[in-house]
Amino acid sequence: MSTESTAILDDYKYGFYTDIESDAVPKGLNEDIIRIISEKKGEPEWMLEWRLKAYRWWLKKTAPSWAHLNYPPIDYQDICYYSAPRKKSDQPDEIDAELEATFEKLGVPLHERNRLAGVAVDAVFDSVSVATTHREMLQEKGIIFCSISEAIRDYPDLVRKYLGTVVPYTDNFFASLNSAVFTDGSFCYIPKGVRCPVELSTYFRINALDTGQFERTLIVAEESSYVSYLEGCTAPARDRHQLHAAVVELIALDNAEIKYATVQNWYAGDKDGKGGIYNFVTKRGHCRGKRSKISWTQVEAGAAITWKYPSVFLEGDGSTGEFYSVAVTTNRMQADTGTKMVHIGNNTKSTIVSKGISAGHSVNSYRGLVQVMPDAHQCRNYSNCDSMLIGPDCSANTFPYIESENSSAVIEHEATTSRVSEDQIFYLRSRGLSEEDAISMVVNGFAREVFKQLPLEFSVEAVRLLEMKLEGSIG
């Protein structure tokens, strides 16, 4: 691996690159590459079969074009589908010091001594999971929290039972691609009646050049269990686009609750839209059990292009789905994000709160679906999508789809789009705040409803992230 320069750091503080020896497969995608990936991971035969089926399906599909996004076609043969930091052979079980330093720099604690942070972390570096903390404590409770590759090896029955049942490999173009080449991600299993005492967390980092990251996360919450899961992501600043196509599957059984939070800060490219991550993600949860609950919270602050619709299928009677989102776009970023709430069971409820902030020349779209099936009685949905515009050249769009097939459903949707309030800015300015501080205060107030859904440490981080993002975008 060469010492590649990362000259275009600008203000993205996670834009550094770690020079680490890595073990990568050649660029391109074919059945052999998939076999190599599968072999490297020591996967059983059924897993390889599944990957190949997904790959063959993917070949027949074309990338979706309905989103309000504009990007050149992606050459899928120009991507490296597997890259792992090479372990030093004399100390195979230790985490590479440089790698550790990288995560330290990112603020991800890999050691148990950081237990104070109260977060159990699974860190994914390019294609593999490098460390999972807090494992013993979790094991005592019967909670499984490990990388998905380990899970395939150690808990094949569980993985086989649930993998692909929420997002099948036939689901969409990017999900098929992910199913064929996914390299790592987290697996999390909460047994019956257990309330996970710490926040579980995965930290994703794309490091190598020209690699795509295809992670797959599967979370299963058994009856009456609870888990809160956090996900964070960054990547080095590079002037080329990199692909990130993840799949996240959540399954909540009777009375279980899953909270899933994302703070996404992939490198978004420079001011002219050069470089940055393409973030094409399929996230979906199934509320399979009665009175189960799945809550998505996302802070989308990075990535050149975001295509992401965390959804909840409300199958169990009385189940609840929530979606809280703040999406910030600046410079030339494009985001088409939102949610799907599909009401299948009776008395199911869903809440959607989406806050879009666009600045610079960015395009920020909310796209959502609320669907009530004919046999779903007494369902309730409330959606609120607000957009804030900062500067004259950005755009904000809202495309909510509401499909009600049951007369007992009550569905409400509200959306507003407006400029950052001049009165409020004026008031704050007259109190001696600088224009930037004033705007940041107004924006934070605007996004508060979503931030308060995040665990405290993340909430603080998210506010800072937003301030950092909007710095300099006010002219």
Partner 1 sequence: MTTTDLQMEKPVDTLPGFDEAQFSSVLEEGMSPVLAAKREEAFKTYLQIASPKRTDEEWRRTDPTLFPLNDVTRLPALKPVRELPESAWDKEFDVVVAVQDDAFAIMHRNDTAEKLGITVLSLADAAEQKPELVDEYLQGRAVPAESGKYEAFNDAFWNFGLFVHIPEGVEWEKGLLIRYRMEKEDSLLLPRFVAVAGKHSRATVAEHLESPDAIRFMAVPQRELYVDQEANFKLVSLQEWGLNSYQIANDWGLVQRDANLNWITLNFGTALSKMKFGSDVAGPGSAADMDGIFFAAGEQHMDQRTLQIHSSPDTYSRLLYKGAVKDTGRSVYQGLIIARPGAIRVDAYQTNNNIVLNEGARADSIPGLLIDADDLKCSHGSTTGNLDPEQLFYLRSRGINEHDARQALIMGFFEEVVARIPQEFIRDIVHKNIEDKMER
Among 401, 437, 445, 452, binds partner 1 (CB under 8 A): 401
Number of other residues whose CB lies within 10 A of the CB of residue 452: 11
Q: Does 419 bind partner 1 (CB under 8 A)?
A: yes
Number of residues lying near partner 1 (CB under 8 A): 33
- Could you tell me the smallest distance in angstroms from the CB atom of residue 412 to partner 1? 5
Closest by CA to 234, choosing from 324, 85, 126, 325, is 126
Q: Does 424 bind partner 1 (CB under 8 A)?
A: no
Among 31, 78, 405, 471, binds partner 1 (CB under 8 A): 405
Residues 6 or more apart whose CB falls under 8 angstroms from that of 290 comprise 254, 255, 316, 317, 318, 319, 345
Among 201, 262, 297, 387, binds partner 1 (CB under 8 A): 387
Contact of 27 with 79, CB cutoff 8 Å: yes
* Identity of the residue, 398 or 440, whose beta carbon is nearer to partner 1 in the bound complex: 398
* Identity of the residue, 185 or 321, whose beta carbon is nearer to partner 1 in the bound complex: 321
Among 153, 413, 429, 448, binds partner 1 (CB under 8 A): 413
* Identity of the residue, 242 or 387, whose beta carbon is nearer to partner 1 in the bound complex: 387
* Identity of the residue, 202 or 387, whose beta carbon is nearer to partner 1 in the bound complex: 387
User: Could you give the CA distance from residue 159 to residue 148 in angstroms, rounded to a whole number?
Assistant: 8
Q: Could you tell me which stretch among 187-195, 279-287, 410-418, 454-462 binds partner 1 (CB under 8 A)?
A: 410-418
Contact of 170 with 201, CB cutoff 8 Å: no
> Per residue, what are the HEC states of the chain?
CCCCCCCCCCCCCCCCCCCCCEEECCECCCHHHHHHHHHHCCCCHHHHHHHHHHHHHHHHCCCCCCCCCCCCCCCHHHCECCEEECCCCCCCCCCCHHHHHHHHHHCCCCCHHHHHHCEEEEEEECCEEEEECCHHHHHHHCCEEEEHHHHHHHCHHHHHHHCCCCCCCCCCHHHHHHHHHCCECEEEEECCCCECCCEEEEEEECCCCCECECEEEEEEECCCCEEEEEEEEECCCCCCEEEECCEEEEEECCCCEEEEEEEECCCCCCCCCCCEEEEEEEEEEEECCCCCEEEEEEEECCCCEEEECCEEEECCCCCEEEEEEEEEECCCCEEEEEEEEEECCCCCEEEEEEEEEEECCCEEEEEEEEEECCCCCCCEEEEEEEEEEECCCCEEEEEEEEEECCCCCEEEEEEEEEECCHHHHHHHHHCCCCHHHHHHHHHHHHHHHHHCCCCHHHHHHHHHHHHHHHCCCCC
Q: Does 475 bind partner 1 (CB under 8 A)?
A: no
Q: Does 414 bind partner 1 (CB under 8 A)?
A: yes
Q: Does 351 bind partner 1 (CB under 8 A)?
A: no
- Could you tell me the smallest distance in angstroms from the CB atom of residue 425 to partner 1? 13
* Identity of the residue, 406 or 444, whose beta carbon is nearer to partner 1 in the bound complex: 406
Q: Does 389 bind partner 1 (CB under 8 A)?
A: yes
- Could you tell me the smallest distance in angstroms from the CB atom of residue 70 to partner 1? 13
Q: Does 392 bind partner 1 (CB under 8 A)?
A: yes
Per-residue binding letters, 146-185, with partner 1 (x by CB under 8 A): ----------------------------------------
Per-residue binding letters, 50-79, with partner 1 (x by CB under 8 A): ----------------x-------------
- Could you tell me the smallest distance in angstroms from the CB atom of residue 52 to partner 1? 29
Residue with tokens 């992501």: 233
Per-residue binding letters, 355-384, with partner 1 (x by CB under 8 A): -------------------x----------
Among 118, 156, 168, 391, binds partner 1 (CB under 8 A): 391
- Could you tell me the smallest distance in angstroms from the CB atom of residue 366 to partner 1? 9
Q: Could you tell me which stretch among 104-112, 255-263, 403-411, 467-475 binds partner 1 (CB under 8 A)?
A: 403-411
Q: Does 404 bind partner 1 (CB under 8 A)?
A: yes
* Identity of the residue, 114 or 384, whose beta carbon is nearer to partner 1 in the bound complex: 384
Among 30, 91, 139, 408, binds partner 1 (CB under 8 A): 408
- Could you tell me the smallest distance in angstroms from the CB atom of residue 397 to partner 1? 5
Distance of alpha carbon 447 from the chain centroid: 18
Q: Does 435 bind partner 1 (CB under 8 A)?
A: no
Q: Does 400 bind partner 1 (CB under 8 A)?
A: yes
Among 18, 265, 325, 398, binds partner 1 (CB under 8 A): 398
Interacting residue ranges for partner 1, rule: CB under 8 A: 66, 374, 387, 389-392, 394-419
